[in-house]
Structure 1
Amino acid sequence: MESNGDGRVQYDRWNEDNINMDVAASQSGTMGLYNRVCTGNTGIVVKVAGALAALVSIYIIGYVTGYYVHRC
């Protein structure tokens, strides 16, 4: 085995200039939508509206079920 003479190892594959650290540009569209809709004041409004819709739907399901159970 022959040495290259200077005793240093070349790491050309690990050149830091070739590493892309732009995380914001590499996010998917769904993450951008999540960041817009689910954070901040808009996120609070969306969560409250979702909870209200869930409560209303559970109320309607309970009302219809109670109607058919106690119909006799």
Structure 2
Amino acid sequence: MRPPDGGVQDSRWDGSGWDEVSVAAASSTGEASSWKRLSRKLCSGKLGAAMKLLGRVAPFWAVFILGHVTGYFVHKCK
């Protein structure tokens, strides 16, 4: 009995000493979807590092600006 093409292939027992498990896509075309290609591009390399940095810095500035605006209206002289 052969496993289907979209199955899980475990290469632990081929004698290489590596514990590798690969999951094949069940699609017949074999191409990654556009969302996967986009996420792979945005999450790797220099662009990925810049996106991670932006993801860490943006919430800080959002809270800072929100606190500044809120503090302005709370402590505004009448």
Q: Which has the higher strand share?
A: 2
User: What count of residue pairs does the alignment treat as equivalent?
Assistant: 57
Deviates more, 1:40-49 or 1:57-66: 40-49
- TM-score (normalizing by structure 1): 0.58
Q: Which has the larger radius of gyration?
A: 1
Q: TM-score, normalised by structure 2?
A: 0.55
Residues 13-37 of structure 1: CA deviation (Å, up to 9, x unaligned): x7x6xx4686351x32111100011
1:65 maps to a residue whose letter is T
Inter-partner Cα distance in structure 1 for 2:33 and 2:67: 39
Q: Structure 1 or 2: larger helix share? A: 1
Tell me the residue number matched to 2:69.
64
Q: Where does structure 2 lack aligned partners over 5 or more consecutive residues?
A: 8-23
Residue 41 of structure 1 and its aligned partner are, at CA, apart by 2.5
Which structure exhibits the higher relative contact order, with contacts defined as CA atoms closer than 8 Å and separated by 6 or more residues?
2
CA distance in 2, matches of 1:51, 1:68: 27
